[in-house]
Amino acid sequence: MPVRQAEGRIQPEHRAVILCHFERHRSSGIDMSGYDELIGLSAVGVVELLRNGQVSSHDLLDALEMRISHVDADVNALPILCFDRARAHADMLQRRPDGERGRLAGMPVTIKDLTHVAGVRTTQGSPIFADFVPSASDVLVDRLEAEGGIVYAKSNTPEFGAGANTFNEVFGATLNPYDTSRSAAGSSGGAAVALAAGMAWLAHGSDMGGSLRNPASFCGVVGMRPTPGRVAQSRYACVDATLAVQGPMARTVEDVAFLLDAMAGDDARDPLSKPRPVQSFLSAARSGWRPVRVAYSADLGITPVDPEVAEITRRAAERFAEAGVVVEEAHPDLSEAHACFQVLRAQSFATSHGQHLERHRDKLKPEVIGEIERGFALTMAEVIGAERQRAMMTARAAGFFESYDLLLCPATIVPPFPVGERSVKACNGVTFQTYVDWLAIAYAVTLIGAPALSLPCGFTREGLPVGLQIVAAPNGEARVLAGARLLETILDLHTASPIEPRGAKASGAKTDRAD
The whole-angstrom distance between residue 405's C-alpha and the CA centroid of its chain comes to 24
Residue 135 bears catalytic tag: no
Q: Is 137 assigned a catalytic role? A: no
Residue 503, CB-side half-sphere exposure with 13 Å CA sphere: 20
- Cα torsion 509, 513, 514, 515 to 10°: value is 180
d(CA 248, CA 261): 10
**Annotated catalytic residue: which of 211, 217, 297, 352?**
211
- Asked if 339 and 386 count as a contact pair (C-beta separation under 8 A), the reply is yes
106 vs 399: CA distance, rounded Å: 43
Give the whole-angstrom CA distance, residue 164 versus residue 77.
15
- Of 57, 69, 137, 187, the catalytic one is 187
Clarify whether 187 is annotated catalytic.
Answer: yes
Please name the residues in contact with 174: beta carbons below 8 A apart, sequence gap of 6 or more.
6, 75, 76, 77, 156, 166, 167, 184, 186, 189, 190, 193
Rounded CA separation 394/474 (Å): 9
CA nearest 386: which of 453, 352, 426, 340?
Answer: 340
Contacts of 16 (CB under 8 A, 6+ apart): none
> Which of 57, 112, 423, 454 is the catalytic position?
112
DSSP string, 285-342: HTS----SEEEE-SSTTT----HHHHHHHHHHHHGGGGGT-EEEE-----TTHHHHHH
Rg of the Cα atoms in the chain: 21
User: What SS3 class is residue 268?
Assistant: coil
Separation of alpha carbons 188 and 469, rounded Å: 16
Residues serving a catalytic function are: 112, 187, 211
